[in-house]
Amino acid sequence: MIKHKNLDKKIWASQDALQPDVQDMLLTIVWDFIDFVRNRYDLSIKNSEVKDILLFGSLTSVFYHKTSDLDICIVLDTEKIIERNPNINIMQNLKLYYYDWAMLHHCSVRGRKVDLNCEHLNNPQFGGHYRTGGQYSLMYSKWILKQPVISDQEFKKTKKEANKIYKQIMSEYRCVKRRGFDVYEIENLLATIIKGRGASLDESYEQPITPMYLAHRKIKNKGIIDKLRAMGIKKQTKQLVLK
């Protein structure tokens, strides 16, 4: 992972403001999704119930990379929405509606894919590890939470510790591979990787650049997590074939 000197200049006009056309396009994308939900699924979401629209993730920090997405969180006051729709799981349905909407829309801004999430205003996790790093309000054009600065020396130390974790996990991966990718071992290794990252973010959600986070990023970029998941599915898939 590279520590850049500044935020991505294609996205940010300064350290405290997005490029105006980027901000306008992101808001257009969000409201297009909300209108889609309203019109296609007859789910009433009032403008006043959209409390904020946040940009979060690696592009709110100097630790962005070439595959970083523009991660957007739509903060909803769902109390009245739930009262109007008592028989459906609002947040679960919004995820399904998003998948439907995404199938019909190709959204990118300055070459960055746009990914939308919805969140309860009063969810205890909101502001916790679910929203790691910086949070910039697109509605109010200001930082809600600015990711703390990490010194070059501290970052170097963190990377050194991350390499130790990475080597340990890769050693375990090679053992699982040599033994033929046992399903139980695959699940255990995936749990170690994913839960370890989650635990590290619980401890340091404002500054998520932890050794485990960096190790997880390196493992993910190597395709190890995708390989383990694909192999797990393959091992559990019944083969009913007549040759």
Cβ contacts of 239 within 8 Å, gap of 6 or more: none
Strand partners, 117: 73
Three-state secondary structure string covering 223-237: CHHHHHHHHHHHHHC
**pLDDT tens, residue by residue, 168-210:** 999 999 999 999 999 899 999 999 998 888 777 777 666 678 8
Contacts 24+ apart (CB under 8 A), 92-95: 93/41, 93/43, 94/37, 94/118
Do residues 136 and 144 touch, judged by C-beta distance below 8 A? yes
What is the model's pLDDT at position 205? 66
What is the model's pLDDT at position 128? 46
Residue 127 has pLDDT above 70, yes or no: no
What is the model's pLDDT at position 125? 54
| Radius of gyration in angstroms for the set of CA atoms belonging to the chain, rounded to a whole number | 20
Q: How many CB atoms lie within 10 A of CB 46?
A: 12
What is the model's pLDDT at position 234? 87
The mean predicted confidence, pLDDT, of the chain is: 89
Q: Residue 71 is inside which H or E element, if any?
A: strand 70-76
What is the model's pLDDT at position 71? 93
**pLDDT tens, residue by residue, 42-72:** 999 999 999 999 999 889 999 998 889 999 9
Chain centroid to Cα 205, Å, comes to 13
Taking residues 231-242, what's their average pLDDT? 76
Quickly state the pLDDT bin for 6 (edges 50, 70, 90): very high
pTM of the model as a whole: 0.82
First to last CA, the chain: 48
CATH architecture type of domain 12-145: 2-Layer Sandwich (3.30)
What is the model's pLDDT at position 189? 95
Residue 129 has pLDDT above 50, yes or no: no
Chain centroid to Cα 177, Å, comes to 28
Residue 131 has pLDDT above 80, yes or no: no
How many residues would you count in the chain?
A: 243
Residue 204 burial by CB count (10 A; 0-12/13-18/19+): exposed, middle or buried? middle
Angle between helices 183-203 and 211-221 (to 10 degrees): 140
Quickly state the pLDDT bin for 130 (edges 50, 70, 90): very low
Each domain of the chain, given as residue ranges in start order, spans 12-145, 152-236
Angle between helices 183-203 and 224-236 (to 10 degrees): 140
Taking residues 67-79, what's their average pLDDT? 92
Do residues 60 and 145 touch, judged by C-beta distance below 8 A? no
> For residue 61, what are its two tokens?
């920090």
* Alpha-carbon separation of residue 103 from 71, 98, 151 (angstroms): 17, 9, 41
Residue 30 has pLDDT above 60, yes or no: yes
Do residues 55 and 7 touch, judged by C-beta distance below 8 A? no
